[in-house]
Amino acid sequence: MKGVSILYDEQRKKRIVQIDLEEISKDPEAFEDLLDGLIAEERRNEPSISHKTVMRSLRKRAERP
């Protein structure tokens, strides 16, 4: 992804992600993709909710006056 670089240590292990904010902000879609990836990583260990449960909850909210 243009504007994003991965830096490695001496053992060739990924250690640092360097983000050029000026470059990445030129492409709003790429910026959104980057943020989506960061959010997904942040939430990796959160419990998941089934689609059925989410839809049931949304329908209940829609029925409220």
Q: pTM of the prediction?
A: 0.52
Which residue stretches of the chain are H helix?
Answer: 21-24, 28-42, 51-63
CA 18, 23, 27: angle at the middle one, nearest 5?
120
| Res. 1: pLDDT tops 80 | no
Tell me the per-residue pLDDT of 17-55, one tens digit each, with 9 for 90 and over: 899 989 988 988 988 988 899 899 999 999 999 999 999
Amino acid 25: pLDDT: 86
Amino acid 7: pLDDT: 94
Amino acid 49: pLDDT: 95
User: What ranges do the domains of the chain cover?
Assistant: 4-63
